[in-house]
Structures are given as structure tokens and as C-alpha cells.
Amino acid sequence: MKKIYWILVLGIIGFGFGHGQEKFLPESHKQIYIGMTMDSLIALKGPGLVPGRSFSGLPQLTETPKVDTLFTETTYLFNKEKVLYEIIIDYKDQFELYRYMNDFYGAPNVDNKEWLIKLENGKELYIWEYLNRWCIADGETYK
């Protein structure tokens, strides 16, 4: 009961940036949002997350699904304040991710290959596909 309470509290604290993101995230990741703290993600996901450092030396967490899914791994990248700024979902090679993303978001609106989504709270999500990875990031970081 105590864990559920803290998940709700942390979710409400982060609601300001998370509001409206869920409809732009894959079904498997709808409870995650850009702008949540590392501690909130750990509280939500539990001990299955593996800590590490990104190529730039910033903190990251990696998660491997416990069941066979279309994706093989998710990497969560954090800034130096330990706030989530990017989610990278690695899909299996045979999955036609870019075609799926086109169906999900509609035609790309950035350079005919990426998406910039303006959220209800004025924030932006920058979304692209790279080597069969679904990348979702804070739009401010990638301007």
C-alpha cells in the first residue's frame, strides 16, 4: 500500500510535464514520461533497471522486458539533475518500426522523417526512428 501511495504522489508531482504525453508513447511505455525523475522511474519500475552511464557520462537506466515482446530493451537517459530527457526503445529487427510510427503519428513533420509534437502544457516531444529504435526526447533538448 505504501509503494502505491508514493507512486501516486510522484506521479502527481511530475504531472506538469507528463500531462498529455501518454497518447504519443507506445502502449508498453505509457506510464513513463519525459521530465520524470530517476527516483520516480525506479519507484515505478522496480529493481529490474540496470544503472549505467551514457556516452556523454550522464546517468542512464536500462530495462530488458521480462516476457517476449516486440522490443528487446529500453534505455532511459537522464540529465545531470537526474530528470528523464530521452527514452530509446530497441525493437526486434523484423519489426517494421518506421512504418508503424507513420501509422501511429501520421506523416512526419520534421524533414519528412521525424516528428515534433506540441503538448497541451506547451512542452514538446521530439520523436524519431534510428536503427529500429523508437526515440522519444524532450523537444527543448533537441532544438
Residues 130-140: tens digit of each pLDDT = 999 999 999 88
Other beta carbons within 10 Å of 55: 7
Cell of 40: 520516480
- pLDDT at position 14 over 60: no
Domain definitions of the chain by residue range:
2-138
Over range 120-136, report the average pLDDT. 93
- Across-strand partners of 117? 125
What is the value of pTM for the model shown?
0.84
Over range 88-111, report the average pLDDT. 95
pLDDT of residue 44: 92
The one-character DSSP state at 110 is B
